[in-house]
Chain A
Amino acid sequence: MHPAFSVIFLTTLIGAGQGLFLAIFTGQSYSAVRLVATQDSTSFYGLGALLALLFLVAGLFASFFHLGRPERAWRAASMWRTSWLSREVIMLPALMGLIFIYSMMHFFGWDTVLFTSKEGTTLQLSLVVGTVAVIATFLLFICTAMIYASIKFLQEWACALTVVNYLLLGTASGFTLATLFANSTAPDLVPLYGSWAIIITAAAFVTRGASLIRNARIKSKSTIQTAIGIRHTHIQQKSMGMQGGSMNTRDFFHHKTAAFMQVIKWTFLVLVFPLPIILLWIGMESNSSGILLGAFISQYLGLIAERWFFFAQANHPQNLYYQTT
C-alpha cells in the first residue's frame, strides 16, 4: 500500500496521547491505593491529561487531510454497526470528551469522595470518570487497529498481532512521554513511568518482531491465476488498460526499492526499541529531561517509520491486476 502521512500521523499521535492518558491515570489510581505519592491535581493530573488531549486533537487534525470531503466527516459516525472506521470516528471524540472532563475535574477541583474504606483509602469521582476514559482508550486502540486487521485479504494486517501492536506501541510511547513529563512535574513518579515504559517497549518489541516474522513468511492466497481465472504457470501482464496510471497504481504501491524498505525496517527497529530503552535508563538515573526528551523523540520518529513500513509492507491483491507500474 502507499503509506499516507495523514494516517501515519493520526495513528502515532493518538497512540501517544492514549498511552499518556493511561500513564496519568495509572499514577492517580496507584496513589489512590497509596502505592505512590499523590500528585498535585492541577500541575500533574490536570495538565498531563490536557497534554494527552493535545495529542488526540493533533491526530484528529491530521486525519482530516486524508479525507476528500472533510466537511462531510460527521457522516462517518453513522455506520458503527458494520464499520470499524465509523466506530473509531465515534470513539475518538468520545475519548477526547472524557479526557477533557477528567482534566477539568482536576483543574477546578470538581471532585468528591464517593466512598471511604475502613483503612482510609478513598474512591474519588475523578477515578470513576478516569476508569470510563481508560475503557474508552482501550476501545479506541481496538477500533484503530481493527480498521486494518478486519480486511481479510490484506494478509499482512489480518492478524490479532496488529491489534496487540497498536496497543503496545501506542502505550509505550505514551509512557515514555509520561516519564519525561513526570521528570519536571512529579519526580517521584519517574521510576514508575520509566520502568513501565521500558517493560511495555520490550513487550512491543516481542510482538512487533513476531508480526515481522509472520509477514516475512506469508503466502498470498490470491495469485494472478485466481485473479484472471486462467490456469497457466506463466502469465505476464502486457497492458493495464491505461497509460498514465490511475488511483490503482498510485494508492496501492509504495514505489520504493527493497533496499529502502530494509533501511526503514532497521531504522524503526533501532529507534523504537533499544535506543529509547537505553535513553530511558540513563535519563532515569540522571534525572535529565534532555535525555528523556531524546528517548521520546527517538521513539516517536521510530514509530513514524514503523507505521510507514506497516502500510508499505501490505500487499493488496488488486496489485495482481497492476503489474506493469
Chain B
Amino acid sequence: MTQLALVIDLNVCVGCHACVTSCKEWNTSGPAGYMTDENPYGKDPTGTFFNRVQTYEIGEFPHTETVHFPKSCLHCEEPPCVPVCPTGASYKREEDGIVLVDYDKCIGCRYCTWACPYGAREIDEDQKVMKKCTLCVDRIYDQSLPEAERKPACVLACPTSARLFGDVQDPESEVSVTIREQGGYQLMPEWGTKPSNHYLPRRKTRMHIHEDELQRADNPLNKEQRGPSAPVDAPTLDDSTSW
C-alpha cells in the first residue's frame, strides 16, 4: 500500500503564500484546464484554489503567538467525500491513495463538499465542476522532469521547506520518520477520516541558563587574583585633577 501525502511543519511556515501561488500557477496551466478567477483585480476577488494559508492568533495579548496554517485536501485514508458522490466522479486511487475528481463525470451537485469536514473542496464557478488538490498527480510521475522536481508544486516552492512530500505508509520514508519523531498529528481525528496529510506542531527552542552558569566557577583569572578595577561610578583621575 502506498499513501502519498504532505507533512506541513507549522513550526517553520512563515505564511508567505508561496505554496498558494505556485499551486495556482501549476494547476491553472495544467491539462485539466484553468482554475477560475472572478474579479481578480476588482473589489471582491474570488476564485478556485486548492490550497489556502490561514492565520491564527493563539493566546491573549501580550502572550500571543501567530500560527500560519496551510490547508488543502488531506487525502484522507477513509475519505467521507468519496462514497457520497452519486456519479463516481470522486474517487480514491488504489495505487497511491490520492483522492481525485474526474472533471468529465462531475455534475457539480456539491454533495461532496458537505461530506468533507475540512472544507477542502471548492467548486469552479465557471466550469461548474468540483475541484480540489490533486497532489500534482500530473507532475509527480512526469518522467520528463528531473527526479528532484517530481514533487507537488507547493513543496518545491516553499522557501522554508515547511512542506514534505512522501509515502506515509512506508515506515522508513522521510515523512513517516518525521511524523514519528516530531509529533506529527492529524486534523479533526474525531471523525475517523484518517487524514493522510499530517501537521508538525510548533516546537519552542528554549535555553535554560541558571544563575550559577553566568559566573564561570573555575575561571583561572580568579586564581591569579587580578585586582578588581575600580567601580564605574567612583571618581576618576579626570574628575579630581585639574590640568
List chain A positions with a Cβ less than 8 A from chain B: 1, 66-70, 72-73, 75-79, 82-86, 89, 147, 150-154, 221-222, 224, 226-230, 232, 234-248, 251-252, 316-319, 321-322
Contact yes or no, B122 A83, CB < 8 A: no
Residues of B within 8 A of A82 (CB): 82-84
Residues of B within 8 A of A236 (CB): 56-57
User: What 6 pairs across the A-B complex have the smallest Cβ distances?
Assistant: A68-B108, A68-B128, A318-B119, A241-B52, A244-B44, A86-B86
Contact yes or no, B87 A78, CB < 8 A: yes
Contact yes or no, B190 A222, CB < 8 A: yes
Contact among A75, A224, A234, A238 with B107 in the assembled complex (CB-CB below 8 Å): A75
Contact yes or no, A226 B187, CB < 8 A: yes
Contact yes or no, B105 A72, CB < 8 A: yes
Contact yes or no, A67 B71, CB < 8 A: no
**Minimum C-beta distance from B28 to chain A (A):** 15
Contact yes or no, A69 B128, CB < 8 A: yes
Residues of A within 8 A of B67 (CB): 228, 230
Contact yes or no, B188 A222, CB < 8 A: yes
Contact yes or no, B119 A78, CB < 8 A: no
| Contact code string B83-124 (vs A, CB < 8 Å = 1, else 0) | 111111100000000000000011111110111111101110
A318 and B108 in contact (CB under 8 A), knowing A72-B87, A85-B84, A229-B201?
no
Which B residue's beta carbon lies closest to that of A322?
Answer: B119
Measured between alpha carbons, how far is A221 from B87 in the docked complex, in Å? 30
Contact yes or no, A226 B52, CB < 8 A: no
B34 is an interface residue with CB less than 8 A from chain A: no
Residues of A within 8 A of B55 (CB): 237-239, 241
Which A residue's beta carbon lies closest to that of B186?
Answer: A229
Chain A facing B: main interface SS: loop
Chain B facing A: main interface SS: loop
Contact yes or no, A237 B56, CB < 8 A: yes
Contact yes or no, B185 A229, CB < 8 A: yes
Measured between alpha carbons, how far is A151 from B110 in the docked complex, in Å? 13
Contact yes or no, A235 B58, CB < 8 A: yes
Measured between alpha carbons, how far is A252 from B60 in the docked complex, in Å? 28
Contact yes or no, A248 B122, CB < 8 A: yes
**Minimum C-beta distance from B197 to chain A (A):** 11
Which B residue's beta carbon lies closest to that of A316?
Answer: B114
Residues of A within 8 A of B165 (CB): none
**Minimum C-beta distance from A75 to chain B (A):** 4
**Minimum C-beta distance from B226 to chain A (A):** 51
**Minimum C-beta distance from A1 to chain B (A):** 7
Contact among A84, A222, A248 with B117 in the assembled complex (CB-CB below 8 Å): A222
Contact among A1, A230, A318 with B118 in the assembled complex (CB-CB below 8 Å): A318
Contact yes or no, B86 A76, CB < 8 A: yes
Contact yes or no, B20 A241, CB < 8 A: yes
B26 is an interface residue with CB less than 8 A from chain A: no
| Contact code string B123-135 (vs A, CB < 8 Å = 1, else 0) | 1010111000000
